[in-house]
Structure 1
C-alpha cells in the first residue's frame, strides 16, 4: 500500500537531492543528480521530473517542499542566481505543472532553518541562525519564533557580508564577501592553488582531521573568516544559537572550535557569551531534504513549533 508522505527537494548549485520523508523527519528513500545549471533550466526540469517519478513510484505524496538558492517567494522565480546559471527561472510555475499535490517553495537556507526548528538542534529555540556552508554561504534565521524572510523571502544573505574590503571576487560580482573566503568552494579553490591539484571535499575533510599542515592552514583561515561573519550577524540579531550546517559542517568539531575562537574574538564584548554555536544534528547526510519536507509539513498545517 502506498504511504502518504512528503517529498523534500533541495536544489543546490552542484547537486539536487530529493527524498521521501515521514512526518517524524525520517527519510525512507532518497536520490540525487547533478544540477548542471549551465545546461539550462529545461534540461534541469527534465532530470528533476525523471528523478521524482522514480522516487515516488511506491509512495503517495501529500505535499512537496522545495528549497532553492536565490528563490523569490513573491515572483516564484529563481532570480539572478549567484551560483546557478539561471536568470528569472520560473521554478514555482514549472513545479506546479509536475505535481498534482501542493508545492511549497522557499530559499534553501530558510528551509534549513525550518528543518532545524522542527527536527534538529533548534527545537524549542525561538531565536537562532542556521549557516549553510556549501557551494556558497547561506543563512536562515528565526526571530522570536518566526522565520525572518524579508519582502521576497531572500533576507539574511549573510554570505554576502563584506569581510575584506576590495578582496576576493564573489560569484555575485562584488568583492570581499564572506562566501568567497569561507564556503566549500573557497576552501577547494585555496587547496588547488596551494597544492597545485584538486581534491574532493571528502579528501580535504580526511586530511584536515589527520592534521595535514597545508590543509589545516586553509581550513583555519576559512573558519576565521566565518567566525568574523558570525560575529557581525550576532551583533544584529543576537540569537540564542547559531547552527553550522551544509557540507562544510562535516569538517567537524575541530573546525567548529576554530570558528568559535574567531567568533568570540570578533564579537561585541557584551554579547560574547550570549550565543551558543552548534553543528547541525540533521545536516550530515540529508538535512536540506528534511528541511524541505518540514516546509511541506508546515504548508499542510501539520507542523507545530
Structure 2
C-alpha cells in the first residue's frame, strides 16, 4: 500500500487531465503555465485545458482520455502520484524545473505501480549503463548494486537490457525494493522479456512512468526517461557504457542537476570506452571500489576495506 495525502476526486482528476495534456503538443504550453505555481485554481486550469480535443480528428477531449487513464490505471493496480502528496518533494523532480532551455520541465504527475514509500525515504543511487553489457560489466554491475543494497541504498534504473536489469535483479535477489523508471505506459512492460522483473519490482518497490495505461514506447520517451532517473538519484554510477551509449544522456542530466557521477574505468575492451571518455573529460569520477561509491555518497565516515571491483 502507498501512503498518500487525502486528495479529493475532483483534484485528482484535475491532475490526470494536466498529466494527459502534457502529452498533447497543442496543450503542453498551457499545462506548463498552469502548473508552474501549483495553486488552488488547478481545477479551473484543468477544466479549460480538458475541453480541448486531444488529437485532430479524434473527437475525444483531453478530459475524456484522462478519465479513461484513471480507470485503466486502477484496473492495472496503478495510481497517480501528484505534487499534492508529501512523497513528491523527496523524489527530486522539482529540481528539473528551470527557465534554462537546456532543461525539460518536471513531470506534471507520474503513474506508479507499487509503493512510493521506500523510494521516498531511502538514499537513492542510479545504476545505469550499456544494454549490450560485457561479462565484465555484468559482474561489476551485480557487485556494486548488490553491495549497495546490503548497505541500505535504494537502486534506481530504467529496466532496460544490460546494466539496468542486472541492477534491478541484484536488489530483488535480496528481497529489497528498487525503482524502475519506465518509458512505456504504466501497464506496459518494455522490454517485454523483463515481465518477471517488472512484476517483482512492483511487489516491493515502484515502477514509475510519465505515461498512462496503454501508451507505447517512442524513441523520444526513452531519452525523456533519463532525466527522471537522474533526478531521482543522489548520485549516478555508470558501470559500463559505449562511446555512443544513451547512458551518456543520463549523465548530462545528472550533471545539470548537480548529481555526482561515478564511472568504472574500461579495460582493454571497447564496451566501456564511454566511461573512459566521461572520466577523461572530467564529467565523471573514476571508481575502483565500493568504498569510493559510499564515500561519494557521504555514507561512510571512516576508512573501510576497499572492496575492489571484479576487474
The answer, yes or no, to whether TM exceeds 0.5 is no
TM-score by length of 2: 0.27
TM-score by length of 1: 0.28
Determine which structure has greater relative contact order: mean sequence separation of CA pairs < 8 Å that are 6+ residues apart, divided by chain length.
1
Name the structure with the higher strand share. 1
